[in-house]
């Protein structure tokens, strides 16, 4: 691996926004790649510094819920891992999860919101709801896990609830590191701080470990990526370009991805932007020798001027393979 892919204590330039002939902006961040056993293949920036994975934590949380007796698979388990776009099939899926557990929309305690997908938001209306919030699949699964264990549902978001203690123990096991700190996510559920190294290690385990729970989560995400985000989301396109892979983005510029029997990567953009992450994921995969025509289409994002491409968002040169 290139000497330029070295360990640093602080975020480093990862992506640049080029308009015309000028570099208009630069996104600093950190990134890491690990093999299926969690050994580091390369890292840049503050990859060992605790950060909040945000919604990239959802596959880990789902493994914990399955370990506690949650009975979901397929598209509904993918929805438990989702920051969904609020398309009609997402909303109906949340209702199905709740209905199976004898619960209703009123039992959801995630922060009310509107669909993230533009078309879905236009069709939904102007009144936010917990159902339409992008984390409603996770919260419905949390409630269903409580019902399966006869745990109280009213307090399911509390950090000392048996559900959240089970999830925290699973996160620690998957990440192979202790939780650095605990806060509250935007949706209202507990949020656990990890390093990028821990996050990438957890995704590698979910994709390759042979436990029933990790295999169920891996299969659900890889086979139903449109349930994890939305039909046209860049992360959905990324997973479709990598059959058998798992991936999940998170707020504040986080992305984690693991390919079949191969490496896992994790990225954190220091300014919280998510726009360079698909580009960076492709660049990091290329550096690991993984590419195809579908990935090539995601290698650059156009910068628009009056609605037409006038530049690109691209990975900085040292993150690209030497042949580029």
Residues 202-230: pLDDT tens digits? 999 999 999 999 999 999 999 999 999 99
Question: Residue 237, Cα to own-chain centre: how many angstroms?
Answer: 14
How far is 242 from 281, CA to CA, in rounded Å? 11
Asked if residues 6 and 319 have their Cβ atoms less than 8 Å apart, the reply is: no
Count CB-CB contacts under 10 A for residue 269.
24
Query: Is 305 inside a domain boundary?
Result: yes
- 4 strand-pairing partners: none
Structure tokens at 283: 């660049």
Structure tokens at 185: 């996510």
Q: What pLDDT does 262 receive?
A: 85
Query: Is 278 inside a domain boundary?
Result: yes
Confidence of residue 254 (pLDDT cuts 50, 70, 90): very high
Q: What pLDDT does 208 receive?
A: 95
Q: What pLDDT does 199 receive?
A: 98
Count CB-CB contacts under 10 A for residue 212.
11
Query: Is 138 inside a domain boundary?
Result: no
Q: What pLDDT does 106 receive?
A: 98
Query: Is 125 inside a domain boundary?
Result: no
Give the pTM.
0.95
Confidence of residue 238 (pLDDT cuts 50, 70, 90): very high
Does the structure show a pLDDT above 70 at 3? no
Contacts of 11 (CB under 8 A, 6+ apart): 28, 29, 30, 45, 46, 268, 270
Does the structure show a pLDDT above 70 at 65? yes
Q: pLDDT higher for 317 or 212?
A: 212
Could you report the per-residue pLDDT of 262-302, keeping only the tens digit for each?
899 999 999 999 999 999 999 999 999 999 999 999 999 99
DSSP 115: -
| CA-closest candidate to residue 6, choices 46, 53, 59 | 46
> Total structural domains in the chain?
1
Does the structure show a pLDDT above 90 at 323? no
How far is 89 from 72, CA to CA, in rounded Å? 16
Query: Is 57 inside a domain boundary?
Result: yes
Query: Is 85 inside a domain boundary?
Result: no
Query: Is 143 inside a domain boundary?
Result: no
Helix-strand-coil percent breakdown of the chain, rounded to 5? 40, 20, 40
Q: How many residues does the chain have?
A: 324
Query: Is 54 inside a domain boundary?
Result: yes
- 18 strand-pairing partners: 23, 312
Could you report the per-residue pLDDT of 77-136, keeping only the tens digit for each?
999 999 999 999 999 999 999 999 999 999 999 999 999 999 999 999 999 999 999 999
Does the structure show a pLDDT above 90 at 6? no
Confidence of residue 261 (pLDDT cuts 50, 70, 90): confident
How far is 287 from 285, CA to CA, in rounded Å? 5
Q: What pLDDT does 319 receive?
A: 66
Residue 72 φ/ψ region, left for φ over 0, alpha for ψ in the -120 to 50 degree band, beta for the rest: beta
Q: What distance, in Å, lies between the first and last C-alpha atoms of the chain?
A: 15
Reported as type and span, the H/E element at residue 293 is helix 293-296
With 0-12 / 13-18 / 19 or more C-beta atoms within 10 angstroms meaning exposed / middle / buried, residue 205 is buried
The SS3 assignment for 276 reads coil
Compute the mean pLDDT over every residue in the chain, rounded to the nearest whole number: 94
Q: Which domain holds residue 62?
A: 12-68+161-319
Structure tokens at 190: 């507990």
Does the structure show a pLDDT above 90 at 158? yes
CATH of the domain at 277: 3.40.710.10
Structure tokens at 323: 């042949």
E strands along 142-291, which residues?
182-184, 190-192, 246-250, 254-258, 264-269
E strands along 158-229, which residues?
182-184, 190-192
Asked if residues 61 and 199 have their Cβ atoms less than 8 Å apart, the reply is: no
How far is 324 from 319, CA to CA, in rounded Å? 10
Could you report the per-residue pLDDT of 15-53, keeping only the tens digit for each?
999 999 999 999 999 999 999 999 999 999 999 999 999
């Amino acid at each position: 691996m290139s000497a330029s892919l070295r360990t640093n204590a602080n975020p480093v330039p990862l992506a640049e926004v080029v308009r015309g002939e000028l570099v208009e902006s630069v996104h600093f961040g950190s990134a890491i790649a690990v093999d299926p056993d969690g050994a580091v293949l390369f890292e840049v920036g503050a990859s060992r510094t605790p950060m909040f994975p945000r919604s990239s934590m959802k596959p880990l949380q789902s493994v914990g819920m399955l370990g506690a007796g949650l009975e979901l698979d397929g598209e509904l388990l993918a929805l438990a891992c989702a920051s969904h776009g609020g398309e009609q099939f997402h909303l109906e899926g949340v209702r199905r999860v709740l209905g199976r557990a004898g619960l209703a929309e009123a039992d959801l305690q995630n922060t009310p919101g509107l669909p993230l997908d533009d078309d879905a938001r236009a069709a939904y209306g102007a009144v936010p709801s917990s159902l339409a919030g992008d984390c409603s699949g996770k919260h419905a699964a949390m409630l269903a896990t409580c019902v399966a264990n006869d745990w109280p549902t009213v307090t399911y978001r509390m950090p000392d609830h048996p559900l959240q203690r089970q999830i925290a123990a699973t996160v620690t096991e998957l990440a192979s590191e202790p939780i650095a700190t605990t806060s509250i996510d935007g949706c209202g559920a507990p949020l656990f701080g990890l390093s990028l190294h821990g996050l990438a290690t957890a995704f590698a385990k979910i994709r390759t470990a042979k436990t029933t729970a990790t295999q169920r989560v891996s299969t659900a995400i890889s086979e139903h990526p449109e349930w994890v985000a939305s039909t046209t989301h860049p992360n959905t396109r990324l997973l479709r370009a990598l059959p058998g892979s798992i991936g999940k983005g998170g707020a504040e510029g986080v992305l984690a991805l693991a390919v079949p029997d191969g490496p896992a990567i994790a990225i954190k953009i220091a300014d919280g932007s998510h726009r360079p992450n698909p580009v960076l994921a492709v660049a990091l995969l290329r550096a690991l020798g993984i590419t195809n025509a579908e990935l090539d289409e995601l290698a650059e994002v156009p910068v628009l001027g009056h609605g037409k491409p006038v530049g690109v968002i691209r990975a900085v040169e040292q993150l690209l393979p030497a042949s580029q």
